[in-house]
Structure 1
């Protein structure tokens, strides 16, 4: 069984949205407050009729309604038809019994839905309520009911449903969110049914032995010795009635330390691994909030490798802010929540393979940015940032522009990502001695993607950033001396000053940059000096176009 898509209406951040999914892994990414957790919560409601681990009926409140739906209702005449409804539909495959056309698309397919609507039996009561209450500040959920049906118009019940979703979220260890039930769910997923039965029997026998303990019997004999409270025998006993689930009384322990008191990272790792292992075979869908939380890089590496190797046929949904998680679990499984819902399932398989092999690169920055500048190295990044400070009095990040150093994986891997997402991207690239071969070729390669622009100096002699900057600051001797004083150490600047003519000064700087003795370090050091300097330098015309995203 797997979920093809969900449709959500009037639930939290989502006023009206449809989200299609991959059959195996779905990596939900987005900026803070973009709705990643809302998607997981909507899935939990559709599949378990629960919200944050508790029965939806028990925690229903006006706060889970979309804010626009609330505002619209409060501005209305508050008639019956003005009351907002929450609808969450899960379109699924693998459960023929759930096939029907009872869905918003009138499509004959498999699925379930949860609807939060006005209870018809309470319509007269609501009408009376409206007459007597002119000032209403929230949705009157007391008049609502919850419907949970499959698409064949059969009511879905917890015991007879054909699927199960398990949520792994460390925040639910907190008592406020039903810690005992949460641990019970994890244990149920990680143990075969016969093992659960053995534990239950042993635990019940243990409680029975408590009742037979001599010291307990002695205390009970003194409890109401004079029969002042009751004429019948009053005792303190262990509850063996089975009214509450046996599992809810169990607790995990790690090296004899009970689960809530071990480290957060270890908690998170164990919960996810138990859910993925699923020895009871009763979980179809696993929902995970940010698996990277509280984990060191090495522990995260181990966990992601475990997920990859043990997931089997279970459908996995997870939210993340980690490029490593996204790259390692396959970037083509990405589901981006931004201005529009986008997937990366059409990305080049070669790029997917590269990033799985080299998952440490920060590709998520390019995914989450609305404006991206790709550069070859840190010196390019520093010079561009200083240009922006000189002209806009702030860092580009403060205005939503992310400058990313492509490093080892190169431009093409990043461009394969951004081209499918339509992200406005500038590529600042050296022409490496041939503008036609190294820049024009790139422009032709991405000519069908208007969001991507490639920028470089057109002069083949100015093959990289350093010669370009020397040329831009060589209008006269005073200009190049000011530039040299910024980028050079005092000792090197004194040697530079021995050159009296402009061509000699330019040649000195070129040779200094090209000197094999620490050439790379010189480039970065000079860029740092440019960034930190109290004086500004001159910039080539093509750099002035880099920040034009209109």
Structure 2
């Protein structure tokens, strides 16, 4: 059983969003705040009924609603209308031949289509209608959505209400980036250890720990201390005062024992070591029985070699399952397959599988991070080499009071001349504005007009090249177009002639 499609309405950064998935591996990439993590959260909410690791009903907050819809709601109130508060809607559409999911089929979805699926919604509870009307009597004082009057609704496409036990789909969300410490214990690690032990082992561990605590009071030095305390308290009442370790809690080992790696406490390990250990433990224990694996940016804090080993392990453990992961890392894209990449930009989905096979093959072989730079860049400028990058950057700084292009969102990306068309293929797929600064190589008609004729029909693609064939590259073009004085200023030199 797999998720074939997810629809998200008004949840965090996603106003009205739809995404389709591959049956096996899905790599979600995009800029910060594009909604990558929100997609994983939405899937986990719909399958497990949880937000931030707690029951959804306990985590309903005004800040999980899309900001645009919140502002529209407040503007509607100020305009004198009485709108109902907006709702959050998440729909999962499944593909499955499992008879256990047959009862999940129906038309109770936004498309009214007869499908297998689940609906999770956070919506206004009409039982609080009177309280809500009282709350909005003075619209100018309404600063946010009154989520105190909301409920969590969870049902299948057949309309039947759901509970976690009633969903025959097991999912695992692995996010090792957030480490919550209390009393030296990482609860993520302790949960995995606790889940790994069988009931007998957990009981034995609790008994042994209790025994260690009780033996504390038997130490001679502790007995001497308690004798002194007892004598002191005898002056106040007839009861003996002593110190010991609390043994009243049944399972206190969870909050007092910590994990070690090569005799080093887990919390003293480097962030990269902590993250990879968490991910590997989760993969070993939780993935085995899961149908769907959600993995949040596994590359965090990892070196290239460590990440290579981790991704190989992820690929092995998740074989035959649906894997949905988010990433900013080009290596992961190339390792797991470029055709599995889903680009998220401006609230829309683009699949790199839509690129030509020639372009896909090119990017599979491309080292470094350039595969993603065009996607993530706000305003990309493509140049042929390092010298071109320096010249364009210097010219921009001179025209903009010393500001670097990247400070205004212009990302100068150095690519080989033969690669321009491959990057422009992605630009067309995304509808992204891009500027190309290139050489005419002595033949403008052939190397610019002819070469890029299929790309120049798009108004968001701008090819910048000198039309004069006597100046085939950028450097002589600059010399030709500037006075000697300007060239010396630009280069910080004192040349006597061009």
Partner of 2:328: 321
With structure 2 as the length reference, what TM-score do the two structures score? 0.80
Q: In the alignment, is the contact (CA less than 8 A) between 2:26 and 2:323 conserved in 1?
A: yes
Q: Secondary structure at the match of 2:381?
A: strand
1:275 matched residue in structure 2: 282
Structure 1's unaligned 5+ residue stretches are: 230-234, 474-478, 498-504, 507-550
- C-alpha distance 158-185 of structure 1, shift in aligned 2 (>3 A): farther
Aligned to 2:385: 377
Contact 1:166 1:285 in 2 (8 A): yes
Matching of residue 334 in structure 1 with residue 334 in structure 2: no
Pairing of 1:258-407 with structure 2 (within 5 A) = 258-278=265-285, 281-343=288-350, 344-393=352-401, 394-407=403-416
- Following superposition of structure 1 onto structure 2, how do residues 116-127 of structure 1 map, counting pairs within 5 Å? 116-123=122-129, 126=132
CA contact (8 A) 2:287 2:293 kept: no
Quote the offset at 1:262 in angstroms.
Answer: 2.0
Relative to structure 1, the CA distance from residue 425 to residue 61 in structure 2 (aligned partners, 3 Å threshold; closer, same or farther) is closer
Assess if the C-alpha contact under 8 Å between 2:4 and 2:95 holds in 1.
yes
Q: Per-residue CA shift, 1:103-145, capped at 9, x if unaligned?
A: 1111111111211223344445656766799954433333322
Q: How many angstroms does 1:355 deviate by?
A: 3.1
Aligned to 1:12: 12
Q: Which of 112, 118, 129 is the aligned partner of 2:118? A: 112
SS in 1 for 2:442: coil
Hey, what does 2:431 align to over in structure 1?
422
| Aligned residues of 2:77 and 2:83 also touching (Cα < 8 A) | no
Note if contact 1:430-1:465 (Cα within 8 Å) is conserved in structure 2. Answer: yes
Is contact 1:37–1:319 with CA below 8 Å preserved after alignment? yes
Q: TM-score, normalised by structure 1?
A: 0.73
Determine helix, strand or coil for the equivalent of 2:436. Answer: strand
Q: Secondary structure at the match of 1:267?
A: helix
Cα distance between partner residues in 2 of 1:161 and 1:102 = 17
Which residue of the partner structure matches residue 66 of structure 1?
Answer: 66
How far has the Cα of 1:228 moved from its partner?
9.0
Alpha-carbon contact 2:77-2:139 (below 8 Å) kept: no
In structure 2, the CA distance between the partners of 1:259 and 1:80, relative to structure 1 (3 Å rule), is: farther
**Displacement of 1:163 after TM fit?**
1.8
Deviations 1:190-246 (A, max 9, x none): x5xxx6355335335535756986957999xx999x9999xxxxx964655x8x9x9
Unmatched tracts of structure 2, length 5 or more: 240-244
| 1:139-218 equivalent positions in 2, closer than 5 A | 139-175=145-181, 182-183=188-189, 186-187=192-193, 191=196, 196-197=198-199, 199-206=201-208
- Is 98-107 or 385-394 further displaced after alignment? 385-394
Q: Are the equivalent residues in 2 in contact too, given 1:172–1:182 (CA < 8 A)?
A: no
Take 2:266 and 2:58, find their aligned partners in 1: how far apart are those partners?
26
**Alpha carbons of structure 1 residues 162 and 180: separation in structure 2 relative to 1, 3 Å:** farther
Asked if structure 2 preserves the Cα contact closer than 8 Å seen for 1:26 and 1:334, the reply is: yes
Contact 1:329–1:356 (8 Å) recurs in 2: no
User: Which protein has greater RCO, CA pairs closer than 8 Å, 6+ apart?
Assistant: 2
**In the aligned structure 2, how far is the partner of 1:441 from the partner of 1:396?**
30
- Contact map agreement 1:208 1:238 (CA 8 A) in 2: no
Q: Distance in 2 between matches of 1:354 and 1:199?
A: 53
Tell me the matched-pair count.
Answer: 476
C-alpha RMSD of the superposition: 4.1
Distance 1:379 1:152, change over 3 A: same
- Greater shift, 269-278 or 133-142, is seen at 133-142
Does the CA-based 8 Å contact 1:24-1:315 persist in structure 2?
yes
Q: Kindly state the Cα deviation for residue 81 of structure 1 after the two structures are TM-superposed.
A: 5.6
What pairs with 1:7-86 in structure 2 (closer than 5 Å)?
7-74=7-74, 75-76=76-77, 82-86=84-88
Using the TM superposition, give the Cα deviation of residue 174 of structure 1 relative to its aligned residue in structure 2, in angstroms.
1.3
Find the aligned partners of 1:48 and 1:377 in 2 and give their Cα distance: 50
Deviation at 1:486, TM superposition (A): 6.5
**Structure 1 residues 352-405: Cα deviation after superposition (integer angstroms, max 9, x where no partner):** 344333331423221122432211111111222233334444433233222210
Output the CA distance in 1 between the equivalents of 2:176 and 2:186.
Answer: 13
